[in-house]
Each structure stands twice: as structure tokens, then as C-alpha cells.
A and B are shown apart, each in its own frame.
Chain A
């Protein structure tokens, strides 16, 4: 069975600095998708970025980028020029391409942004 692990329950970053949130996963599939979701205090779940496993190029969305290491089964999220509005829970999620439609979520990392 697939698993997703976020080993950092909480992280802090100074405003305008860069922070990296880690995520590892376990799967026997070769084709799959990975996502990062943000949940601010308003509790909305907002998609931040997605990565297709068959793409070697790391996904980037403005200040958000990923470091996808397929062999190591690692999918970290880098936030550059951190802003106060980036403070939230961040969830890593896995979605396979065979059989089940289930998304597997990690336990989340709470990011604090210090002014």
C-alpha cells in the first residue's frame, strides 16, 4: 500500500526567506501524481502545485517549486520569498494511476512565517 510521510510537524521561516518542506512516499507504481495542498486558518484546502512522475522537470508555480527525486521517492516543496500569507498547514498527497482513485495524504506540516 502507498504511504506518504511528512516528518516535520512544524516549521518556521522569516518573512522574505526561503523554506523547504519535506515529503517522502512509498509506492510500487511507476506512474503517479504528487500534489502539495495548503490549508490556511480559513480551513480551505488549496492546491499549490502538482507533479507528474513521468516528468523529469520539477514543477514551478511562481514562488513555489518542488524538488522531485523519483528514485529517492522524495517530493519537497520550496517556498521562496516567504510571505505572511504563506502561513498554513501544508499537505503532501499521492495519487496513483492504476485501479484506485484514492489520494493518500500526509499528516501535514504547519508553517509559521515570522515578521
Chain B
């Protein structure tokens, strides 16, 4: 079975540009998570969805960040306008939320560099 698929793997763009990160969760998983990883702050949960509905977006740093999950097989994380401090590795993870807890499966991440 294919794992969580993220694209692009690397993104380099200039400050002020719009950035869109994409994620395809594992088929059948009903929970999706977006994380940001930096040396200074470690792994931070930005937002998570359950059955395509955003449950908790308290980790989204500010209004420049937005995330959508239009269907069970696709999610996007958008930054507009981007700033150098947004440079980080962004991970998407999915899991099957049911009574017996299933672990999260992570994508390979997108390394984002804002110049």
C-alpha cells in the first residue's frame, strides 16, 4: 500500500510568494495532520482534520497559513504571503481514528526555503 505522499519534496521561493504544499493520505485513513519541524521549535502540530473536517487549528501560526481538505484523499497547506521565518520541513501524517488507536504514518516531508 502506498504511504503518505507529499509534494513537492523541496520548495525554494522568494519572500512574499504564495506557497502550496500538497498531501495525499493513505487510502482509508480518516485523520490527517500537518506538522512543521524546525531546529528551534522541534515538531509542531499546525492543524488536523478528522473525516475532512478541521478539528483543531490552534497551531496555525497566523492568518498567512491556511489548510484545506476538500476530500478524503487530498489536503493542502498554503502560506500567503510567505516569509523567511516560514522556512522549515513540513510533514503531513495520516492515521485511522477508531477505538483501537492506530499510529500516525508520515510522508517524507517538504523542505521549504523562503529567501
List residues of chain A with CB under 8 Å of any chain B CB: 33, 35, 37, 42-47, 50, 52, 91, 93, 95, 97, 100-103, 105-108
Contacts and interface: CB of A to CB of B under 8 A. Distances in A.
A87 B50 CA distance: 34
Contacts, number: 46
A35 to B, nearest CB: 6
B45 A45 contact: no
A101 B43 contact: no
B56 A33 contact: no
The 9 closest A-B pairs by CB, nearest first: A45-B106, A107-B42, A33-B101, A105-B43, A47-B103, A43-B109, A101-B31, A101-B97, A35-B103
A78 to B, nearest CB: 19
B34 interface: no
